[in-house]
Amino acid sequence: MGRCFVTRRLPGTALDRLAAAHEVEVWPLRLPPGPGELGSCLAGADGLLSLLTDPIGVAVLERAPGLRAIANYAVGVDNIDVAEATRRGIPVGNTPDVLTETSADFTFALLMAAARRVVEADAAARRDWVTWEPAALLGVDIHGATLGIVGRGRIGGAVARRAEGFGMRVLHSERSAGEPLDELLAASDFVTLHCPLTAETTGLIGARELGLMRPGAVLVNTARGPIVDGDALATALSEGEIAAAALDVTDPEPPPPGHPLLSAPNLLLAPHIASASERTRAAMADCAVNNLLAALAGERMPHCVNPEVYEQSPPSATRRSP
């Protein structure tokens, strides 16, 4: 039996399965542990179940010499120094597939809400709805429009399938295929982002790229906040360079009081909930726990982002034997 630290209580019953096999400590507070607190909690831990809000870098890993596995409760692992974990012989797991359709649903919900000004309409109906007005709250059509998908992986592909049902023309751009990004931005009525956060995609959509988009275009981001330059987006919205934006993610997250995005016009903002259905979040927990249980049993993680770790011998100074 090993000791596992979980950085937040998770939906579903997966943690009960983990607790049946290992000693489990769950961080009890709503806000995540800071780096110092996390390092302290990992002293003596064999397994870590982390969230995307938990930065797992060298400083944290140095305080966890016995750590044998990290299971991230997310598809992306940009919060983890995977190279350092690999150097230390620690497999890192993620939760692909289970959140694809739910995230695509929410992406389209944001797209539709921004296009048809749903949030503004709700506020207007509650505030001053006095009659039907032919020119009130005019939005943009979705059917027949062109959708540009940046990063057509699992979620991007699922969004494309939904777009086909609306009769949209679908373009896509990725590193090795599809349209060049500049051409996609210029040709699309809607642009939705689904690429992973990497050094290459950080700041991918900045002032220049926003300037290439159509004045009536809508930008949707359910991927990672740093892919978009938030200050540049706020300026583009304020100056009417694009019609609207819908964000499930920001940089920083959440945006602090006074951040330009919070006062930008025609911006719909959600608190990182693209995967937030009861079934999906429970399935994510099951996937993360399955990764942890397998690794701590000396088996391959079902979903490992650094499989090369199984081909090397971990440094004895950085890892305790099972």
Active site residue 272: yes
The reply to whether 104 and 72 lie within a common domain is no
Catalytic residue among 88, 172, 194, 224: 224
The reply to whether 92 and 10 lie within a common domain is yes
Active site residue 224: yes
Domain membership flag for residue 318:
no
The reply to whether 77 and 89 lie within a common domain is yes
Q: How far apart are CA 247 and CA 286, in angstroms?
A: 27
Contact 78, 232 (CB under 8 A): no
Q: What is the per-residue pLDDT for 322?
A: 41
Q: What is the per-residue pLDDT for 35?
A: 87
Domain membership flag for residue 140:
yes
Active site residue 200: no
Average pLDDT over residues 31-49: 94
Q: How far apart are CA 266 and CA 233, in angstroms?
A: 11
Domains identified in the chain, total number: 2
The answer to whether residue 64 scores a pLDDT higher than 60 is yes
Average pLDDT over residues 191-208: 96
**Residue 71: strand pairing partners:** 49, 93
The answer to whether residue 176 scores a pLDDT higher than 90 is no
What is the domain range of residue 190? 100-269
The reply to whether 290 and 260 lie within a common domain is no
User: From its phi and psi, is residue 228 left (phi > 0), alpha (psi between -120 and 50) or beta?
Assistant: beta
Catalytic residue among 17, 162, 272, 320: 272
The structure tokens listed for 68 are: 């044998």
Catalytic residue among 23, 120, 183, 253: 253
What's the pLDDT tens digit per position in 232-255?
999 999 999 999 999 999 999 999
Q: How far apart are CA 68 and CA 63, in angstroms?
A: 13
Domain membership flag for residue 125:
yes
Average pLDDT over residues 73-101: 97
Domain membership flag for residue 316:
no
The reply to whether 203 and 290 lie within a common domain is no
In whole angstroms, how far apart are CA 306 and each of 86, 197, 269, 299, 300?
Answer: 7, 16, 33, 14, 11
Q: How far apart are CA 90 and CA 1, in angstroms?
A: 18
